[in-house]
Structure 1
């Protein structure tokens, strides 16, 4: 029986994951499969084959790699999807599968920025409770609960999908929106809603950095959660670098 084409698994859901799939789908001698976590309702589907849902930990992922004849994995998950990164490292080590981490560079504070860098949401909530009266929570639906006890702060909570259930905030408005957001639009939002503090995580990228530039213009502090630790694996900062790595790791595919 002829051996199947080598498979590439993209652990995706990010802009970079979608772009990598689009760049490689159709390359001769390569099967491209993207995996989405399934935490967002009605997700945008990437080019090529796609699976949605978890693998069942590192053991389940290792079994999938063997059964699907995956020769290389690109972890293009969100910078804060750290558990998937550790699972991928363990599964690839167990199966001898090549692994690359594709991750956009983190945001860095510049002149005029007023950042409070925190390790977790408990620390973030403590700072918000001290400095904020009208705060923007630019977070995911699983990340806002730590701020609900702050009865004296009015929150504007922006996310893609509504939380279920919604934590019991004394003062909160839910704003469902998906980026990208321009700097001017963010400036108008912060000004009109009298936002005095922004809470976000260091996702990096250009789709949602407009709020940081707007905060700089308005002199608004930002409570920024730093990225969690990741395994020490080969790393690419751009899709072009990832494409080159894939072609090197799977030398049989067409250039």
Structure 2
């Protein structure tokens, strides 16, 4: 595997480097500003819903599709669009598995945006603990 792990979408855009590449962008339609600021690449953006045209990078192909996606379909898409690098977010589940496996099969590099670090929070081990916590914070069975 040829992965570059980054902390933010801005870091992902920077990791693409200055050399023009065909980038399969699966980070969502709402977080495109970093890639608009990194022209020179051709972006293949896959989204469930159509993005706002004013948000798109200058050289962008938009593919509207709804998951799940399987390995063969992902590999075919990457070949058909001559993808040279995959940029995706760590979804923390099997949601990204097929595209990562397809990138591996095709020998493509991956820029992986790590999940944000969540602030510390109180946790409980079971339902009784949750009910105790709720009661201590002014919630009653009736209000929950």
Distance (Å, rounded) in 2 between the aligned partners of 1:208 and 1:156: 16
Equivalences for residues 93-104 of structure 1 within 5 A: none
Aligned to 1:185: 73
Label 1:232 to 1:211 Cα distance change in 2 as closer, same or farther (>3 A). Answer: same
The reply to whether residue 245 of structure 1 matches residue 133 of structure 2 is: no
Give 1:194 shift.
0.7
TM-score, length basis structure 2: 0.79
Aligned partners of 1:156 and 1:172 also within 8 Å: yes
Contact kept, 8 Å, 2:24 with 2:43, in 1: the verdict is yes
Q: Encode CA deviations 1:178-208: one digit per residue, 9 max, x unaligned.
A: 2111111111111111101111111121233
In the TM superposition, what is the alpha-carbon distance from 1:250 to its structure 2 partner? 4.4
Counterparts of 1:9-88 in structure 2, within 5 Å, are none
2:116 matches 1:215: no
Uncovered stretches (5+) of structure 2, i.e. residues with no partner: 133-140
**What is the rounded CA distance, in whole Å, between the counterparts of 2:53 and 2:74 in structure 1?**
27
Distance 1:176 1:121 in 2: 21
Equivalent pairs counted in the alignment come to 132
Q: How does the TM-score come out when normalised to structure 1? A: 0.47
The corresponding residue for 2:135 is none
Q: Is the 8 A contact 1:137 1:199 kept in 2?
A: yes
The aligned counterpart of 1:230 is 118
| Structure 1: gaps (5+ residues) | 1-112, 236-243
